[in-house]
Chain A
Amino acid sequence: MKKRMFVVLALMFVIPGLLFTASCAKKAVKSEAAVAAPSDDAAKKAAAEKARQEELARQKALEEARLKEEAAKREALAARNKFMNEHVYYAFDSSALDATAQNVLKNKAAWMKANPKEQVIIEGHCDERGTVAYNLALGERRAVAAKNFLVNMGIPAASMTTVSYGKERPVDPGHNEQAWAKNRRAQFVIK
């Protein structure tokens, strides 16, 4: 029992001692070096600092460029998503383009001018009311009306195709005016 107590006590003193010794040794080395070459060291330090600053600047510029590029990419992606998700809406049994519809189409034209290589499909959709055949015809009139507006805005007709989905692909399956209004649309798809 007594013997074990002694061992514990010994360890209590020995371990901190060891730790203290280690930290002392580090300090000693550092001061030795500083004493060895004081003038040479200042120049080297300055040069290193300069290089470090230059590297930092270069990295910052790179980072900024990267961020900018990323932002541009994000912006392009956002513009692309907006192009695909912002729909042109129509009144019941109509393919006429009201002021809101025309504004949406002006945004489409701007995007297509900025992305002249993209091929676009304009889908014409209808609400569920009315017969299959009539809605196929009406959906085509809607897609064609949107296409003609863009052609008049200077977008080449060859970059656009139309497809009518009639009442086959509603975005809202509801049977009320709110759903119907959402479903009467021209939707843009990038090929």
Chain B
Amino acid sequence: MILYVLRILQWTVPFCCFILFSFSVSAQTAGKYDYIDISNPQMKKIPVAVPDFKPLTGNSMEVTISGLGAREISDVLEFTSYFRSLDKASFLVDARQADPAAPQFKAWTTTGADFLITGAVMVNDGNLDMELRLFDTYKERLLLGKKYSGVLDDRRRMIKRFCSEIMKLLFGNAGLFESQIVFVSSTGPGKKEIFISDFDGSSPKQITHNGSVNLSPALSSNGQYVAYTSYSAGKPDLYIQQIGSQKAVLVDQRGIGISPSWVPGKNELAASLSLSGDPDIYLLTINGKIINKIVDNPGIDISPSFSPDGKKMAFVSKRAGNPQIYIQDMGSGRVDRLTFEGNNNTQPDWSPKGDKIAYTSLIKKGLFQIMVIGVDGKGLVQLTYDGDNESPSWSPDGSMIVFSSTREGSSKIYVMTAYGTDQRKIVDLAGQQSEPKWSPSSAN
């Protein structure tokens, strides 16, 4: 017997409003599942079976979504590198006929699945209802049950939402499925524009259209604004633009405006401006007004990145003769040098968990690689080896790093786990892509 509990979600994004129902799951399982330890890089991938959804009335749209939705769940979960989706050919059960609420667990454990996800889909007059369930096949228990109601276009959002629920249940945080990635893509000779894509590089959309060179995008904490450098007025100035709007606020016209980075959870950002003659780091409001100068030193000071609590800031300075990464305590103003290996260390990105900083280091002649170091300067590791690899940026849950690489020739966007495993290209666009940056937090 399943009880339906109605809950209407409050969405910050105006265009989306599907409705979520939760099946009530027995109290001892819901929310009490032992979290799987993901801090172990040697962790074996969890085998999960995602059979096609059951089409409830059998119309052709339901049949399409039955296969498509199952594949999307597999892809989304596999993206994390925690899961391995089992081959459908090995399934012993025809899920389109079976009861999605009462699976034959033995048939799934025989297939090798630790977890099973079943779905049921109903399409009626452009409206879409999806029931999704997660089972532990060995404990033979329903762990999670959700029903989503909306329009056909909500399909992918429903699937991402359900996968986020799975992450929350199994790993203790919502993961990265509702995050986005901004990056730069060439759009013609001498033209570079800012693009935004889904967390997995899918559905890339161009968000600047000025036909100039646009660089170094960074999404605000709420995901609504993007700060970037643009040559639209002939030189590299800093702009802040609301996504969806073509109006961009110019921060300051004196000197250059580069390397913006938002303060976690605040409508403030830091960036390097050279209005006093050389690049120093300033704190700015979302409207582009200067709050104060936070790094004032002769020579180059750029690329700020804040700790998750906003109390410390990593940045790049040339004060020791070549670019190195430093950490400044925002309260006391004390500055400590973080990197000592190599003579060209740039682009720090503070992990959302707070304990590590990813950066770019010149390793071999002319080639940069992605490094990760503890905020205490210990535990330095090199994560990339092939081609030139730059611009590391952590996913909002700290489980992955997005970066650019020339390993296949031209510069493209790649992801890897926080440990450097499962490196692969994610954005499928013509031209060259660079400077990816993950949105600081999920939409919720």
Contacts and interface: CB of A to CB of B under 8 A. Distances in A.
Given A93-B322, A93-B344, A137-B279, A132 B366 contact: no
29 contacts: A129-B344, A130-B344, A131-B303, A131-B368, A132-B215, A132-B216, A132-B391, A132-B435, A133-B215, A133-B216, A133-B346, A133-B347, A134-B300, A134-B316, A136-B258, A137-B258, A137-B272, A137-B274, A137-B300, A140-B255, A140-B274, A141-B278, A141-B299, A144-B277, A144-B278, A163-B234, A163-B235, A168-B213, A180-B366
A5 B255 CA distance: 99
Q: Which 7 A-B pairs have the closest CB atoms?
A: A133-B259, A163-B235, A137-B300, A137-B279, A131-B346, A136-B258, A133-B258
B183 to A, nearest CB: 12
Contacts of B417: none
B127 to A, nearest CB: 46
Given A136-B258, A137-B279, 15 more contacts: A129-B362, A130-B362, A132-B184, A133-B302, A134-B300, A134-B316, A134-B347, A136-B256, A137-B274, A140-B255, A140-B256, A144-B277, A168-B215, A169-B190, A175-B366
B229 interface: yes
A186 interface: no
Contacts of B391: 131-132
A128 to B, nearest CB: 8
Contacts of B258: 133, 136-137
A187 interface: no
B300 A138 contact: yes
Contacts of B119: none
Nearest to B359: A131
A163 B235 CA distance: 6
Interface in A111-156: 129-134, 136-138, 140-141, 144
B204 interface: no
Interface residues of B, number: 39
Interface of A: 93, 129-134, 136-138, 140-141, 144, 163-164, 166, 168-169, 175, 180
Contacts of B274: 137, 140
B152 to A, nearest CB: 40
Interface string B195-216: 0000000000000000001011
Interface in B179-202: 184, 190, 192
A134 B347 CA distance: 8
Contacts of A136: 215, 229, 236, 256, 258
A140 B275 CA distance: 12
A117 to B, nearest CB: 21
A169 B234 CA distance: 13
A166 B214 CA distance: 12
Interface in B353-367: 360, 362, 366
Interface string B385-423: 000001100000000000000000000000000000000
Contact of A164 (B216, B256, B322, B343): B256
A130 B344 CA distance: 8
Interface string B296-321: 00011011000000000000100000
A168 B435 CA distance: 13
Contact of B434 (A132, A144, A175): A132
Contacts of A137: 256, 258, 272, 274, 279, 300, 302
B347 A131 contact: yes
B323 interface: yes
A38 B116 CA distance: 129
A93 B192 CA distance: 24
Contacts of B435: 132
Interface in B327-368: 343-344, 346-347, 360, 362, 366, 368
A164 B279 CA distance: 12
B368 A166 contact: no
A169 B235 CA distance: 13
A93 B279 CA distance: 15
A138 B234 CA distance: 18
A179 to B, nearest CB: 10
Contacts of A164: 235-236, 256
A144 B255 CA distance: 10
B323 A134 contact: yes
Contacts of B215: 132-133, 136, 168
A141 B277 CA distance: 9
A139 to B, nearest CB: 9
Nearest to B301: A137
A166 B215 CA distance: 11
A131 B361 CA distance: 10
Interface string B217-235: 0000000000001010011
A120 to B, nearest CB: 15
A133 B390 CA distance: 11
Nearest to A140: B256
Contact of A133 (B192, B235, B272): B272
B360 A131 contact: yes
Contacts of B259: 133
Residue with the greatest number of chain A CB neighbours at <10 A, chosen from B192, B258, B347, B362: B258
B284 to A, nearest CB: 16
Interface string B365-379: 010100000000000
A5 B347 CA distance: 105
Contacts of B368: 129-131
A134 B278 contact: no
A180 B299 CA distance: 23
Residue with the greatest number of chain A CB neighbours at <10 A, chosen from B234, B322, B323: B323
A166 B184 CA distance: 15
Contacts of A130: 323, 344, 346, 362, 368
A136 B213 CA distance: 12
